[in-house]
Amino acid sequence: MTTTLDCEAPSIARKTLWTRDFSLYFAARVVSLLGDAMLPVAAALAVGAIYGVSGVGYVLAVWTAPFVLFVLFGGVFADRLGARTMMVGADLVRIVTQGVLAVAFFVGAPPMWLLLCASFLSGTAAAMFEPGGKGMVPLVAEDPQRANGTLKIAEAATQLGGPVLAGLLMALTGAGTVYAFDAGTFLVSGLCLALIRFAAAPGAGPDPTSGAAAGEPSTVLLDLRRGWVEFRSRSWMWSVILVWVFFGMLVFGPYIPLGSRLIGDRLGDAAYGWAMAGLGAGTVIGGFVAIRFRPVRPLAAGGVAMIGFMCIPLSAALELPLPAVMAGHLIGGASWAFWSVMWSTSVQTQVAPDVLNRVTAYEVAGSVSGVAVGQALVGPVSAVVEPRDLLFLSAGVSAAVCAALLLIPPIRRLRRV
């Protein structure tokens, strides 16, 4: 009898991951993620020095809003025009926005209107980039699970290295250099993506990332509707996203403001940095485990692993010593990484290629919306309720999320392709 944690027998001939296409795609994603990781630090330090905390908030909010609004259209255009076309175009836009800001900071203090315009355009470009970024994985890798695990490890590395690099460049050279370096990362990303040569498929066009059917009447609204129908028809998918909205609102969104405050006030700002280092190390471990462990029911296995995520808010709420806080973040990071790989691989292998980008856009929009609401509400709520009590609530919600993932039959029963 097969259990939720049974694994497939290892394949006799292990598929090669590091093909030319995947190597180029990996390089593009790494440098792009590095640029994304540098952006919040650059905004906080450079914009904050001129316009204060409120200015930083405005710039980041103006980036997030178009991302949430336009990511669905990013999925539609990626399916109509090709994922690679949209990704390269998005990189070109961000080369311009970050390059203009670099020049503005080299010259002096950029006006707020320029910062807001550049942030809006950059957020819109990210919305056009994101759906295709996930949808291209099965096109450049024969083994999507190994690819997703490898990408998750790289993402953890950039999340650790990006803020450090941005801080060093700010201290040594200034904001102009940070934004110029950020623009350079998108230039490298665009070049790597443009150099990918997809394997030829019978009847495929010149760019297999384009899923538009020849001669089939279509409009943007019809494509949006079809993406919604495909998303809604998969009960396992919308069930996870529904659970994830509550997870984002009550756990993921509030944790960074609450955790940084509790850990920083009690143990110092450096302690929060060490806690984040523990989180990054755990993400790397979880990525390696996800590469090797291939459960027959991936979402059920991921749901079991997510039990460890409650260690993150719990370690902060219990006011443990720094080594225990780091250990809690390490366990939580490993749990999160393993779930992320199981989820991404399930979506990429269960959804037809011609609608994958649109369906991905719906799941990204649903996930991000909960996080955005949680981040918006954490300030007013923490003024009424003690942050420590809110983190205890987050730990309880984490356990409830794991239970929901395992109790909902379509999620628990979904089998590996």
Using alpha carbons, select from 33, 358, 380, 390 the residue that is nearest to residue 189.
33
**Considering the entire predicted model, what is its pTM?**
0.75
Instruction: Indicate whether 178 belongs to any domain.
Output: yes
What distance in Å separates the CA atoms of residue 269 and residue 44, rounded to the nearest whole number? Answer: 15
Q: What is the mean pLDDT of residues 232-253?
A: 90
138 and 279 in a single domain? The answer is: no
Whether the pLDDT of residue 59 is over 50: the answer is yes
Please state, rounded to an integer, the average pLDDT across all residues of the chain: 83
Whether the pLDDT of residue 263 is over 70: the answer is yes
Q: What residue type is 11 in one-letter code?
A: S
370 and 308 in a single domain? The answer is: yes
pLDDT in tens, 71-102: 888 888 888 888 889 999 999 999 999 999 99
Torsion sign (Cα): 288, 294, 299, 304: negative
Instruction: Indicate whether 39 belongs to any domain.
Output: yes
Using alpha carbons, select from 164, 224, 198 the residue that is nearest to residue 22.
198
Determine contact, residues 148/116, Cβ cutoff 8 Å: no
Backbone angles phi, psi at 210, to 5 degrees: -90, 125
Instruction: Indicate whether 380 belongs to any domain.
Output: yes
Name the DSSP letter for residue 295.
B
Looking up residue 269, the CATH number of its domain turns out to be 1.20.1250.20
117 and 262 in a single domain? The answer is: no
Percent of the chain exceeding pLDDT 90 equals: 37
Number of domains in the chain: 2
Q: What is the mean pLDDT of residues 285-291?
A: 90
pLDDT in tens, 318-338: 989 989 999 999 999 999 999
Domain assignment of residue 341, given as a range: 225-417
Q: What is the mean pLDDT of residues 47-66?
A: 75
268 and 382 in a single domain? The answer is: yes
Contacts of 323 (CB under 8 A, 6+ apart): none
Confidence of residue 209 (pLDDT cuts 50, 70, 90): low
Residue predicted with more confidence, 117 or 217: 117
268 and 340 in a single domain? The answer is: yes
Whether the pLDDT of residue 172 is over 90: the answer is no
What distance in Å separates the CA atoms of residue 155 and residue 132, rounded to the nearest whole number? Answer: 17
pLDDT at site 268: 77
Instruction: Indicate whether 11 belongs to any domain.
Output: no
Instruction: Indicate whether 248 belongs to any domain.
Output: yes
pLDDT at site 201: 38
